[in-house]
Amino acid sequence: MGKSAFIGSLIVLILANCTHLTRADSFVAADYLKNDGFRLFQIEKFYQAKLDFKKKNYQKSCDLLEVIEIKKDSTKQLILYNKALCYWHLNDWQNFISASQDIKYPFIKNLIVKVIGASLAQKKHPKIFLTADINQLLKVFPELFANKKLISLYLKKLTASTDVNKLLKNLWFRSYSSNISSSLPKKLRTKFNRIVNQASLADWEKYFLIRLQKNRFSSLIKTAPPIIKKFKKQKKYPATLMKYYVQSLSAANHHTSLLNYLSKKENKTLFKFFPREIHSLYISSLVKKGYLEKAYKYANDLQASKVSHSTKGYVYLVLGNYLFFWKQDLKAALIVLNKINIKHIKIDDLEQLQWQKLFSAIITKNKPVTNKLYVWYKKHKFNSEALDSHFCYWIHNKANELIDIKEKSAINCYHQFSNQYYGLRSIVNNEFDYYKESLLKKSPLPLADKIPDKDTLQFIEFIRITTDFSEHRVAELFLKHDFSKSKDLGYLKTIADSFNQDKLYYLSQNLYFSVLKVKSLDKELFHLSFLESIYPLAFQKIVATTAKNFSVPVSLVYAIMREESHYNHLATSTVGATGLMQLMHGTAKQMSNQLKANIKKQDFNIPDNNILLGTYYLKKLLKTFDGHLVYTIAGYNAGPRNVKKWMKKYKTTDTDIFIEMIPFGETRRYVKKVLRSYFAYEIIYQHHD
């Protein structure tokens, strides 16, 4: 049989057994069948390799991965990641390091570092460490210097050819253990201590910076004073080290220590080296300690000094932020913020400053300031679309008594900022019904679905297979990397729709969140079919049933799910929240007990269970807050106790004001994101009710 006939027969055999291909693959599979059976053959080899890996047939898996022929760079990197894992489990050091060295994407290397770390955490280390050249491993994955067990293993395997001094210096830079010296053998300990004692100022700057970037504040605070003192004695002014030390004190909330340190005469020169950073840290510590009169005096005295206008303005901005967000003294905040010369402030700071002034002026009914800001708003070209939408909504909907505005409000803001919270908020209680109707009556989407090129289609199939084997995070990272810069929305919609049809909602969300995170959709593209793709009815049956049983708005359940997990049922937060609705174990257990559902801890992230428990929790919050949507959403994120405290403090019935006054930045942003999704689901799907 000839080669082409053999391949043809093989492709037919593969097609007959391609059970992993999904029903959403029709447009993909048809293209392969007609024109490119060879690519389909590569896909099947990848699927078989993953299957063999799952069955621990590592040699077979590695052999298959070696013969897959790929053109697209992202797909090559995915193959290399799988090769590295395969050879790691096969204890094949040479091939593992060979695959790892060819990996270009930092996020893949981070994934492999986690695998190596997990292997080292086992009581019995994998056999691969018997043949491993750990020096080579550390060159490829320098992050592993922070792994005590690996370093301990390395020290036992040191050879005469090893550059010990270079190793020990790297160990000093990257190991976060405070007692690393004592864990070394005596000979190495002496060398290590000599390297540390002879370290240059530049070495210590690098050492401090690494710890600052990794939030190792306590280590830095303990280490810094004697080192700074040492260089001062050598007549070398360690300004950068001192700055890092002050930044660590601030980050660790050691405000008294910071104020005392900067008040000492010998440290005053630091203000000249880094005026903006040090002055802002100083006044920030004053206000956080409650020394408000001192902070006012400090900011006012600074205006007569020779520091730059930018520094003067930034110090007032820090003081104004404190009065605005934490004291909620809007009159005082407005007085301070109005002192800033906007000509001498950075664009991002400027827009935030002007927004805080506008909000304060509207709430305190300051007509002159509101009008002045309105004139500025009409002329200014915004860098931040989010803050632009803030201005649009508040000027057109909240400043009617203070300024004369003739433009039609909701239409204007909605069209400009369709993907922003305040864009959708603009049509709620105004032209909401009108817009629902106009959306449904629009002509077909002017954006035709576009079939991606063959290499991209192949990459998508590899991503699907990756999710088939529960490697959701890997799939998300690759998608984000590959499509984050794409501007072709029709192209993205085609891919996202195929994911949604296959119930891989988190993959479609990953695409949209990557691309539409910053900019709004053009108004011509903001069409029903596109919106349904961005806001899918994920897990529709269980959501509908549970929401109805507990009398919770369906759109609220979807909005919470979308913003909490992007519909990834395996999502786990850094604090331990789990599942589609990101429930903490304590909350999930409490809801399970109250429902007498007897759901075990390991089953909390199962979609049906998580939706049941999360929706029941929403029911309880809605009851606590008399059905008030904003308080309920804020309570889901920050806890009901905090929300009750804020309600008592602010005493406002205006939910727009309440949201902007929430002192927790994370909760304030969260409420807006969930409400944006809630409004979108209401607009898109209420006609189905």
Which residues does the annotation mark as catalytic?
Answer: 564
What's the rounded Cα separation, in Å, for the pair 550 and 161? 70
Tell me which residue of 164, 158, 85 sits closest to 118, measured CA to CA: 85
Neighbours of 554 (CB within 10 A): 21
Q: Helix-strand-coil percent breakdown of the chain, rounded to 5?
A: 70, 0, 25
What's the rounded Cα separation, in Å, for the pair 319 and 372? 22
- Quick one: CA dihedral 637, 110, 510, 446, positive or negative? positive
Sequence-ordered list of residues with C-beta below 8 angstroms from that of 442, at least 6 positions apart, any chain: 527, 528
- 8 Å CB contact between 537 and 515: no
Token pair belonging to 681: 């689901």
Q: Which long-range contacts (CB under 8 A, 24 or more apart) does 118-125 make?
A: 119/88, 120/147, 120/149, 120/150, 120/153, 121/149, 125/153
What's the rounded Cα separation, in Å, for the pair 641 and 631? 11
Q: What single-letter amino acid sits at 384? A: S
What's the rounded Cα separation, in Å, for the pair 214 and 198? 24
CA dihedral 612, 613, 619, 622 (to 10 degrees): -130
Q: Give CA angle at 212 (577, 153), nearest 5°.
A: 80
Tell me the CA distances in angstroms from 53 to 94, 110, 646, one per residue in order: 19, 21, 53
* DSSP codes of every residue in 217-275: HHHHHHHHHHHHHHHHHTT---HHHHHHHHHHHHHTT-HHHHHHHHHSGGGTTHHHHSH
What's the rounded Cα separation, in Å, for the pair 445 and 413? 22
What's the rounded Cα separation, in Å, for the pair 658 and 380? 27
Neighbours of 367 (CB within 10 A): 13
What's the rounded Cα separation, in Å, for the pair 535 and 679? 11
* DSSP codes of every residue in 518-556: SSPPPGGG--HHHHHHHS--TTHHHHHHHHHHHT--HHH
What's the rounded Cα separation, in Å, for the pair 220 and 207? 9
